Structure 1
């Protein structure tokens, strides 16, 4: 089965961990993830500046490792990211900011990527939605 996963929750929310575990279990079960799409406060999961407490799961690092190791399509909504100060180097330069905090393997893109993923996948699974 081909899944698209949309995450709406910040790193410290239980639904972020649930989405991560679902993605790991789906891949371990031989399923495919056509796209991960981070929207609203979930864009913080892609920030390279999030620091988790020592006794907590480092959800952003886990997401980054999963996307990198599995070569997944990890997309961060550009509008939601910019509103929350999540910028790659190109956007940081464009808006005159001193540094970016979004690095590979993440890609900034628009909501059209979520729509396309929903059309391509067998199932769109949403975590932490409104």
Structure 2
């Protein structure tokens, strides 16, 4: 079986890429493959915003990613630079900006540098970008 590194660069609200990444991840795991991790980059970081609210007729991807990552124990890594540019802050980033209560990136999502993506790529057999 193969191990995959999933890279999500698509906005969860503007395209189907984030949903396709989720469905691929789900299918790969059900087929017995492993996921080294998921790296959210560029507009894909918008998924990690815990303040987002969805309308009743829209698919809420945030809880789905949280659930699958916890069930199969793989990391959801968010590029810190791309996230900060889009107003998505971890608790540590909020403290550094003197706004300790204003953070919207929560576990299981984690704020990381681009070096974590390189590590995941090295540990994986394949990478797929959505």
Q: Sort the TM-score into its range (normalised by shorter chain).
A: over 0.9
> Which residue of structure 2 aligns with residue 101 of structure 1?
104
> Which residue of structure 1 aligns with residue 90 of structure 2?
88
Question: Secondary structure in 2 aligned to 1:93?
Answer: helix
Question: Secondary structure in 1 aligned to 2:82?
Answer: helix
Question: Secondary structure in 1 aligned to 2:103?
Answer: coil
Question: Runs of 4 or more off by more than 2 Å in structure 1?
Answer: none
Superposition pairs of residues 1-130 of structure 1, within 5 angstroms: 1-12=2-13, 13-97=15-99, 98-127=101-130
Runs of 5+ consecutive residues of structure 2 not aligned to the other structure: none
Question: Secondary structure in 2 aligned to 1:34?
Answer: strand
Partners in 2 of 1:49 and 1:75 — Cα distance? 18
What CA deviation, in whole Å up to 9, does each residue of 1:13-47 have, x standing for no partner?
20111000000001111100001000011111111
Query: TM-score, normalising length from structure 2?
Result: 0.93
Question: Secondary structure in 2 aligned to 1:44?
Answer: helix
Query: TM-score, normalising length from structure 1?
Result: 0.93
Runs of 5+ consecutive residues of structure 1 not aligned to the other structure: none
* Contact 1:46–1:64 (8 Å) recurs in 2: no
- Say how many residue pairs are matched: 127
* Contact 1:87–1:101 (8 Å) recurs in 2: yes
